[in-house]
Amino acid sequence: MNTSTATAGVSITEALVTALAATWRAIQHRHPEVPDVVLTLGSGTIGARRGEVNLGHFAAERWHTTNSETGTGDTAGDEEPPAGMAELFVGGEGLRRGALGVLGTLLHEAGHGLASARRIQDTSRQGRYHNRRFAALAQEMGITVTQDGARGWSATTVPAQTADEYAPELAALTEAITAYRRAEAPTGGTGKTSRNNPAATCGCDPARRIRVARAVLAAGPILCGTCATEFTTDDPEETDQQDSDDE
């Protein structure tokens, strides 16, 4: 194993995981409803849509805790399965944005954790569209979110006041982030442009779906009469490379 160090005697992995875990604990200290998580690191581009990077996600009850009596996660008969723990995924490619960007991802995912704890439906479209309920939770977490096309209220920035509150954690992250993952080369596709009208969806849950010519979409917003949000498309011809915090 490569033992290159972030600080003397500490591996890159150890320093990074320690700093990320400490930052999550600091978030929980300020927001006690945010749940415990199992932290995972990996690729944010494998399986992602072309041109996108998955910066992170929060997934409730993704991990089974072990049974304290048997030492396993298995159950017998009609017993209830062991309690689940949430997963916090951090995409290695997103580390290139530095400590402030990573803090933004952690606070964004903590917002999803808060929604899970309060049983608030804060997303739709398989977790891609972030609704106004998420925007309110994000404000509570101290981050600013703005609308980002088909992802809704998901584009995340960290205001100066919040950065100041997490100054010790930002310093630790800055020291620990000494590497980031290379993006996977895009695979699949023929390179041909589809001549079909793209599908556009609104913010309803479930989303309403229409097909409309690209020229019509480009001419101006098309608003849904039910939820009053703009119909947007995930058509790759309509989007540039984007980073996303997905649930």
Task: Please give the pLDDT value at position 192.
Answer: 44
Q: Quick check: 21 pLDDT over 80?
A: yes
Query: Is there a contact between 165 and 30 (Cβ–Cβ < 8 Å)?
Result: yes
First-to-last C-alpha distance (Å) of the chain: 32
For the chain, the average pLDDT equals 80
Is the pLDDT at 155 greater than 80? The verdict is: yes
Phi and psi torsions of 211, nearest 5°: -110, 135
Q: How far apart are CA 59 and CA 143, in angstroms?
A: 20
Cβ neighbours around 116 below 10 Å, total: 19
pLDDT reported for residue 121: 92
Give 5's pLDDT tier (boundaries 50, 70, 90). very low
Give the whole-number percent of the chain exceeding pLDDT 70.
73
Query: In this model, does residue 243 exceed pLDDT 70?
Result: no
Among 25-39, 145-159, 163-177, 212-226, name the one with the lowest average pLDDT. 212-226
Instruction: Reply yes or no on whether the pLDDT at 83 is more than 70.
Output: no
Q: pLDDT band for 193, please (50, 70, 90 cuts).
A: very low
State the Cα–Cα distance between residues 230 and 153, nearest whole angstrom: 12
Distance CA 203, CA 20 (A): 32
Cα gap 177→156, rounded to integer Å? 20
What is the arithmetic mean of pLDDT over 207-212? Answer: 80
**Among 166, 164, 139, 134, which Cα is nearest to 151's?**
134
Q: What is the largest CA-CA distance in the chain?
A: 64
